[in-house]
Each structure stands twice: as structure tokens, then as C-alpha cells.
Amino acid sequence: MVRAYPVAGGATGETTSGTLADSLPSIIADARIVREYEGTWQRTTDVRKLKDGTGLNWQEISLAQLTSQDISETTNNENAQQVQDTLLSVEPTMTQILIKVTDRTYRKIADVVESKMGTLAGNAMARKKDDDYLALFSTFATTVQPGAGVAFAYGYISAAKNRISSNATEPSIGAIYSVLHGFQIKDIQDAITSGVGTFAVPHGMTEDTFRQGFAGTVTGVNVFEDGNITIDGSADARGATHAREGVVAVMGMSIKTETRRDPAFGGGADEIFMTDEYAFVERSASNWAFGHLSDATAPTS
């Protein structure tokens, strides 16, 4: 019988991945970008382009109504109606993002990570634009709202819609949108489904909302959820209902992407610039846009 003896200095036992931990490679299998809201302004505003060679400001003239009167065959009409104008003017401002990446970084990072970097910059530009649109809500000349600390209700959307479409000063007959935080929309959903568990729920809107959540329209107003709406320190959020023509999105330029080399930095680096120019402005103030400040406490039931 031949007997095996341990080799001097060697280890005994089975070999597992744990015993060869230092030999295991570390490979990034995939990469993902943290999800965020793409924004709503492109679907809810009147987008206009400031043409090259037309100055710093986008300007629009609105002409006031005239009044006609009854006359007879013997009337000598000397009641001249004066044409009056009002100027709406806004100057688009620029925003920019810079990413600077060294050549060594490109050589060392996983390809799946590098492929996502450009998208990150584009997302940042899109979010900035949506944030600026949402910030306009706090400047609207009029509000229809429950106020801080009070739950939102669909009646505020309905009230705003009718004050827009039947406005005595200047009605809007175009599309009307409501942009709300998801926690505000939850309050609408709760109101619609309040009878669930209390009485039989018939087929229709209540059943659909209970099964699928709230989405769609309220009294003809298209409702959009925008998670970029800020919730303040008191757990309140400010949404809005406005006519499409009630908010003008003025584009001063198309997004421009440029690169520049910096060979002196870190053995060489690429600088990537993205630049945009735009502005948001309320049109026909007090008539076509209404703010909605309400409670936006995170729902628990």
C-alpha cells in the first residue's frame, strides 16, 4: 500500500472559492441610472422658438377687445374705439453642465458605466428645465387651493378649469392641464374610492380607480403627475392647473453639446459641455393659470 503524506508547508482540505478569494475577479456586470421624472412641460405649455437675429427678448403683443354699438339710419357715430396693446416680454437665460473626465478614468472604468455618463448629463439638463417650469407655479397671479396642511380635492381642478374656460376678461378655449405631485393625486384617488368597503362599488370610475389608481382627466382637464414638484419642510406641495396657452416656454436655442481637451490635467482629460437657453412665462396673468398649494404628506394607507 502506497501512503500519501502532506507536502511540507502545504495546506490540507478542500479547495473552495473562499480559499482562492484573492484570485476571484471583480467585474461590473451592469450599470443603471437612478430613475427620475422626465418632466411635463413639453406636453403642457405653448412652446415657442426665439428666432435668431430677433434680439434678446421674445415679445408678443396682445390687442384689447373693442366694443361695437347699435346705430340707426340717422346716427352720426363719433364714438371711436381706441386700439390698445399690451406687451408680453421675456428674456431666455442660459444653463449649462460640465463633465470633466480624465483619460485614466476612461481606461479603468467598466464600459457599462462609461456608456451611461452622457445620459446623466442630458437628464440633469431636462430636470433643470422642468424645475424652472414648476417654479413658475408659485408666481401665478391667482390660486384655487385648500392651502397648507389641507388635503387636495378634485373640486379645485374643476374650479380652476371653469374659471379658465369661462373667464370674463379673457377665456381660453384650448387644452387645460393640471400638474400635481403624486401625493396630491393620492388625495383625489382617496375621495373617489371613499365608498370602497362601505357599500357595493358599481362598475365605472370608482371601480377603475380602485383597481388601477387614478389617471386621466377631471372635468375635461388632463392630469399629470410630476414628482419633481418640491415638498417643503411642512409637507406641502404646489401644483397648478393652467391652459396650455397660459404658460409660454420660450426656447432661445437648441441644446448644444461641445467637447474640449485639457492635456495638462491629470495626464489628459475630456471636458464635455451641454448648454441650453430658455424661459417660462405666464400669459394672460390672472386668467389662464391657477396655483394649488396643499398638503403632500407621504401616504401611509
Per-residue DSSP letter, 6:
P
The b-or-e profile of 77-112 (16+ CB within 10 A means b, else e) is: eeeeeeeeeeebebebeebebeeeeeeeeeeeeeee
pLDDT tens per residue, the chain (301 residues)? Answer: 666 666 666 678 888 889 999 999 988 999 999 998 888 999 999 999 999 999 999 999 999 999 999 999 999 999 999 999 999 999 999 999 999 999 999 999 999 999 999 899 999 999 999 999 999 999 999 999 999 999 999 999 999 999 999 999 999 999 999 999 999 999 988 887 754 444 444 454 444 443 444 467 888 999 999 999 999 999 999 999 999 999 999 999 999 999 999 999 999 999 999 999 999 999 999 999 999 999 999 999 8
Q: Where are the chain's structural domains?
A: 41-61+85-195+204-295
Q: What is the pLDDT of residue 100?
A: 97
Q: Check residue 215 and give its pLDDT.
A: 60
By the 10 Å C-beta count (0-12 exposed, 13-18 middle, 19+ buried), 207 is classed as: middle
Strand partners, 258: 273
Please report the pLDDT score of residue 157 as a whole number.
Answer: 95
- 66 near 80, Cβ under 8 Å? no
- 81-88 contact pairs (CB < 8 A, 24+): 85/61, 86/61, 86/62, 87/59, 87/60, 87/61, 88/59, 88/60, 88/61, 88/62, 88/248, 88/281, 88/283
pLDDT tens for each residue of 119-154:
999 999 999 999 999 999 999 999 999 999 999 999
pLDDT score recorded for residue 67? 95
> How many degrees, rounded to 5, is the angle at CA 246 between CA 166 and CA 127?
140
Tell me what pLDDT residue 199 has.
46
In angstroms, the Cα distances linking 162 to 31, 85, 168, 252 are 48, 26, 11, 33
Which pLDDT belongs to residue 213?
40
